[in-house]
Amino acid sequence: MKDRIKKILAEELGYTPYEAEVTADGLMRLDMRLKAAFDRWLCDRTETDVGVVGLNAFKLMEKRGLAYPAALISLDWAIREPEQALEFLKHGSVM
């Protein structure tokens, strides 16, 4: 599955091999609250506006210029380390 993810990231989104590797690792470890959205995207590239801890995927994509997979990983970070992630994602810096 990881190879499939890396191929999609590289061929469809233009990720470098390193970016695809790191991103695939992050996507494979997503919190269960994000897993269904990722699975759907992986299946047919449907982007679901999933939200957690006051953030949502579409807003991150718009405001931070993230691709959908990166937005999901950012939401996962916000679940795991909310204080640090929220400060950075909302304001652009970590205090």
DSSP 94: -
Per-residue pLDDT at 92: 63
Whether residue 13 contacts residue 69, with contact meaning beta carbons closer than 8 Å, is answered with yes
pLDDT in tens, the chain (95 residues): 999 999 999 999 999 999 999 999 999 999 999 999 999 999 999 999 999 988 899 999 998 899 999 999 999 999 999 888 888 877 664 43
CA 54, CA 86: separation in Å to the nearest integer?
9
User: Other C-beta atoms within 10 Å of 31: how many?
Assistant: 14
Pinpoint the alpha helices (H) of the chain.
Answer: 2-13, 17-28, 32-44, 57-64, 68-80, 82-91
pTM of the model: 0.89
